Amino acid sequence: MSDKLLRPIEIGLTAAIVAIEANEPLVLTAPGGDGDRLRGLPFGPFDAVAHRTFEMGLRAWVEEQSGLHLGYVEQLYTFGDQGRHARPGDTDAHIVSVGYLALTRLTDAASQPHVAGATFEPWYRYFPWEDWRTARPELIEKQILPALTAWAAEPEAPNASRALPRADRVRLYFGADGAQWDEERVLDRYELLYEAGLVEEARRDGRPAALARAALPPLGAAMRFDHRRILATAIARLRAKLKYRPVVFELLSPEFTLTELQHTVEAISGRHLHKQNFRRLVEAGALVEPTGEMSLRTGGRPAALFRFRREVLQERPAPGLRVRGRR
């Protein structure tokens, strides 16, 4: 039996911990070890002796690496592609990573990371093409679409198993040639860039499309291992859940203004929303109720404070905000 067949498998636990501050979506990152210059998500191995469940193991590792005590946690996906977590020449165990999405409030003193090097960073630093709040990012037209269009014109391998040809995926995923931008396709877009060899991770992993290219300007900051792929999965999941679960309130203070709620939804979705339409949507959904108090932290006229109306969880099965952007 070959050594390759005997290569052991380890289970890793990785967390995309999301927060909102100053209307920006943030993700907790930690520095790499062994001289690795790249940052990554908090992660560590699952210990079947010390941890009764994956989630308990995740919480223990996150607390150790970042000092955070997690609240809302949801399992995302199992990431086990060969080579995704390996370095050239590795003979160590193949890592199968179980990814998680977790939400926290930075207004809580206990939610501030206190381990050296751990910090919250804007998630659009890693996915700049996903932020449409002010306009369609210039990066798409100037760098991404020209490179993807040229790649799509190349002949595909005869054994390619994709349901859609390259040109169709470029058009659908990046909203080209009149196609509508779908904010939930975060992972599809990242995987397309990876397949085309346009992100640093593809070159680092030795993908042929990347090695065949001359050096390109970076498309967002790279992350350790497959952590940018895990983060893309987390963003896509959170954007989708906005529409059928009240997860947005896990990121807000218990009391908030409608403007703060709108800015939080915009930050997550990457979309600018029409103010009056958004407020009508919130009112129709009966997701919030007034507290009777006013907020003075807006810097202008006092604004009414609201709170999440928890009774809605018993009233209907999918209470969310089915928002639609202005573009």
Q: Tell me the per-residue pLDDT of 284-297, one tens digit each, with 9 for 90 and over.
A: 889 999 999 998 77
Question: Which pLDDT value is given to residue 81?
Answer: 64
DSSP assignment string, 134-193: SSS-HHIIIIIHHHHHHHHTSPPPTT---SS-HHHHHHHHHT-TTPPP-TT-HHHHHHHH
- Mean pLDDT along residues 44-66: 80
Token readout for 30 is 């930690």
N-term to C-term CA, the chain: 58
Interval 179-191 mean pLDDT: 97
Say yes or no: 7 and 120 in one domain: yes
Whether residue 229 lies inside any domain: the answer is no
Does residue 53 belong to any structural domain of this protein? yes
Among residues 125, 145, 166, which one ends one of the domains?
A: 125
Judge if 192 and 278 occupy the same domain.
no
Q: What percent of the chain has pLDDT over 70?
A: 86
Which segment, 164-168, 210-214, 300-304, is predicted with the most confidence on average? 164-168
Tokens of 140: 């798409």
Indicate whether 154 and 119 sit together in one domain. no
Quick check: 1 pLDDT over 50?
Answer: no
Q: Verify that 212 and 246 share a domain, yes or no.
A: no
**Domain match, 119 and 8 both:** yes
**What CATH number does residue 109 fall under?**
3.90.79.10
pLDDT of residue 160 exceeding 70 = no
In terms of DSSP H, where are the helices of 8-161? 54-66, 138-139, 145-152
**Based on the domain organization, do 87 and 108 belong to the same domain?**
yes
Q: Which of 125, 154, 188 is the last residue of a domain?
A: 125
The answer to whether residue 233 sits within a structural domain is no
pLDDT score for 96: 81
- Judge if 86 and 158 occupy the same domain: no
pLDDT of residue 92: 67
Question: Across all residues in the chain, what is the average pLDDT?
Answer: 86
For residue 77, the 8-state DSSP code is E
pLDDT of 296 reads 78
Please report which residue ranges of the chain form alpha helices under DSSP H: 3-6, 54-66, 138-139, 145-152, 166-174, 186-195, 200-204, 208-211, 227-241, 258-269, 275-285, 312-315
pLDDT at 321: 85
Q: What is the pLDDT of residue 307?
A: 96
Q: Is residue 300 part of a domain?
A: yes
Q: Is the pLDDT of residue 110 over 70?
A: no
Would you say residue 188 lies in a domain? yes
Return the higher-pLDDT residue of 304 and 35: 304
With 80 as the cut, is the pLDDT of residue 67 above it? Answer: no
Of 116-120, 164-168, 314-318, the range with the highest mean pLDDT is 164-168
**Number of domains making up the chain:** 3
pLDDT digits (tens, 9 = 90+) for 299-308: 678 899 999 9
Confidence at 221, pLDDT banded by 50, 70, 90: very high
Residue 255 and residue 291 share a domain? yes
Whether 10 is in a domain gets the answer yes
- Around Cβ 194, how many Cβ atoms within 10 Å? 22
Clarify whether residues 203 and 286 are in a common domain: no
26 with 71, same domain: the answer is: yes
What percentage of the chain reaches a pLDDT higher than 90?
55
Which region among 94-103, 136-145, 217-226 has the lowest average model confidence (pLDDT)?
Answer: 94-103
Q: What is the pLDDT of residue 42?
A: 86
More confident residue, 128 or 88: 128
The pLDDT of residue 23: 94
CATH, residue 268: 1.10.10.10
293 part of a folded domain: yes
Question: Which of these three, 125, 149, 176, is where a domain ends?
Answer: 125
In a domain, 227, yes or no: no
pLDDT of residue 223: 95
Q: Are 25 and 111 members of one domain?
A: yes
Domain range for 120: 3-125
The model's pLDDT over 25-34, given as tens digits with 9 standing for 90+, comes to 999 998 877 6
